[in-house]
Amino acid sequence: MSDEHGSVFDGLLGGDSSQWAFGTDFEDPLAGVDTTTPGGVDPAELAAYCLMLGDDALIMSQRLSEWCSRAPDLEEDIALANMALDLLGQARLLLARAAAADPGVVPALPEGSPVPPEDALAFFRDDRDFRNVRLAEVANGDFAHVVVRLLLFSTARLALLERLRTSRDQVLAAVAAKGVKEVAYHRDWAGRWFLTLARGTEESHRRLLAALDALWPLQGELVAAHPLERSLAGAGVGVDPASLREEVEAVLDQVLTVSGVPRPERAPLAGVGGRTGRDGLHTEAMSRLLAEMQVVARAHPRGRW
Amino acid sequence: MNADRRATEVPRQARSPEAADTGPHATGAPGQARSPEAADAGQHTASQASDAGRSDARRRAAEAAGQVRDPEMPMLTLADLGVLRGVEVERDAAGGEVVIASITPTYTGCPAMATMRDDLVHRLNDAGFGRVEVRVVLDPPWSSDWISERGRAALRAAGLSAPGPAPRREGPVLLTLSGPPRPAPACPRCGSAATRLTSEFGATACKALYRCTDCLEPFEHVKEI
């Protein structure tokens, strides 16, 4: 090949990493952002809180990504992948923020490993160190299942992010302000599909009810306060999810009423000795999800991509 | 395909009048108007001579950075997209020149941030600035309102529909279960107002998919956020 572009391999020869489409090196997603922990806040608590919000987004993103090439049509396939990407972006910033607040949360890697802290948190923690709600981790079902899961998840997350915009932590406030715009689209998408499936065919209606029945017991965890969340809400850094319950239920009731679907009467899924996803107690599905998500990174802890 | 090459070479081959961005407006990167620190930069230097030198360096750096294109929408410069928030030239302890370019993601998960950073570093290196630092600005979040008039014209010329005004929200975000999420945009190809939303999500996070029911062509609309 001898056109004006020269050989496609030219870029491989130089030592300039900026020649590469995505660089040969990782970058700090918080480069230049002030990551000082706000006064009066325990950095370890802030880090654990960021893991809760970041893990919710990461695990939900992983489940949505599994839909890639499996949605009923191309537009919905793209929609699900877009929502997965939004959440992955939120997860990346939140995990990086956790690592900046308390480097002690980042798993140790072999010397010389180029894995950045947020990736170490995503790919090298075991299930018990993940703090996400169990709603995010349960295995995918049919299309109605992802619609219901996204409706429950994004309704609670949107309410939370709206309040988090005034966090004393600059990074959390910035992630929230941006996330509100994104998750508003996710909630609308899920709400509209909920309505469509409810009013669609007998089959779509039946599947919607089945998904709602299966996922409703996991909804309560989204609006139940963990002691850590209460503590950080008191410090003006976090949000107490229990304070969102009324608002979240009002939105869900609106969707259910318009769709003519009765509110399910399923009790919340109990924790183990009262401990749930926020405490690192997960369902079996979580281990399988992590196995698939982490296997390549764990096999090559010194790998450069 | 190497995105860096695509971003830097496409404009050279297909340069439209609005893409001829070496004029003074190119140096008016959005960050200069918006960032407060840009206004008083240069006031702390020792002498007028070094003041002038630095402001000249800043002008050259802003001009070079202002030419970098968005990797996903190469008809737009990062400045026109509102992603380039500021270009400053600072001196390190040893007196060396460091260019500080600030960028903000359109969407949190924007996978093009690393490419933008690399394109900026590369372009500024080519312009003679050996040391370049690209910083991420998360606050305030990007808004489609920051796309410049020139950027909107470039979008339309490329067959994309430019965003309307971003929604102003007071209080909780309302759920929209029915009805269009925005007034239907006109078809950028034939101008018809008879267009229909195909999907709120498109090939990139910032675009929705539409179809014109008159000319029947699909098109992309940059979402208002």
SS3 track for chain B: CCHHHHHHHHHHHCCCHHHCCCCHHHHCCHHHHHCHHHHCCCCCCCCHHHHHHHHHHHHHHHHHHCCCECCCCCCCEHHHHCCEEEEEEEECCCCCEEEEEEECCCCCCCCCHHHHHHHHHHHHHHCCCCCEEEEECCCCCCCHHHCCHHHHHHHHHCCCECCCCCCCCCCCCCCCCCCCCCCCCCCCCCCCCCEEEEECCCCCCCEEEEEECCCCCEEEEECCC
B115 touches chain A (CB under 8 A): yes
Cβ of B177 within 8 Å of Cβ of A173? The answer is no
Cβ of A181 within 8 Å of Cβ of B141? The answer is yes
Chain A contacts of B225, Cβ < 8 Å? 181-182
For the cut 60, the answer to whether the pLDDT of residue A20 exceeds it is no
Cβ of B138 within 8 Å of Cβ of A33? The answer is yes
Q: From the CB of residue A10, how many other CB atoms can be counted at a distance below 10 Å?
A: 12
Q: From the CB of residue B49, how many other CB atoms can be counted at a distance below 10 Å?
A: 9
In this structure, are residues B161 and B219 in contact, taking their beta carbons and an 8 Å threshold? yes
pTM of the predicted model, to two decimals?
0.85
In this structure, are residues A188 and B175 in contact, taking their beta carbons and an 8 Å threshold? yes
The reply to whether ipTM tops 0.90 is: no
A31 touches chain B (CB under 8 A): yes
- The pLDDT assigned to B111 comes to 82
Q: Which pLDDT band, with edges at 50, 70 and 90, does B113 fall under? A: confident
- Strand B207-212 and strand B195-199: the pairing is antiparallel
Q: Which pLDDT band, with edges at 50, 70 and 90, does B39 fall under? A: very low
Shortest CA gap A241–chain B (Å):
16
Tell me the pLDDT tens digit for each residue of A158-190. 999 999 999 999 999 999 999 999 999 999 999
Cβ of A185 within 8 Å of Cβ of B4? The answer is no
Which residue of chain B has the CA closest to A4?
A: B9
Cβ of A178 within 8 Å of Cβ of B107? The answer is yes
Q: A-contacting residues of B 14-73, CB under 8 Å?
A: none
B194 touches chain A (CB under 8 A): no
Tell me the pLDDT tens digit for each residue of A211-229. 999 999 999 999 999 999 9
- Per-residue pLDDT, averaged over A262-270, amounts to 93
Q: Which pLDDT band, with edges at 50, 70 and 90, does B49 fall under? A: low
- Per-residue pLDDT, averaged over B112-141, amounts to 92
Of B138, B203, B205, the CB nearest to A174: B138
Tell me the pLDDT tens digit for each residue of B51-103. 777 789 999 999 999 999 999 899 999 999 999 999 999 988 888 899 999 99
For the cut 50, the answer to whether the pLDDT of residue A271 exceeds it is yes
Q: Which pLDDT band, with edges at 50, 70 and 90, does A198 fall under? A: very high
Of B2, B135, B173, the CB nearest to A21: B2
Chain A contacts of B3, Cβ < 8 Å? 21-22
Mutate to test the interface with B, among A85, A154, A161, A180 (most CBs of B within 10 A): A85
Q: A-contacting residues of B 173-192, CB under 8 Å?
A: 173, 175-178, 181
> Which tops the pLDDT comparison, A233 or B175?
A233
- The pLDDT assigned to A44 comes to 97
Using DSSP, state whether A243 is helix, strand or coil: helix
Q: Which amino acid is at A81?
A: A
Cβ of B114 within 8 Å of Cβ of A173? The answer is no
Tell me the pLDDT tens digit for each residue of A127-166. 999 999 999 999 999 999 999 999 999 999 999 999 999 9
Q: From the CB of residue A9, how many other CB atoms can be counted at a distance below 10 Å?
A: 8
**Orientation angle between helical segments A143-164 and A170-199, nearest 10 degrees:** 150
Tell me the pLDDT tens digit for each residue of A225-257. 999 999 999 999 999 999 999 999 999 999 999
For the cut 60, the answer to whether the pLDDT of residue B38 exceeds it is no
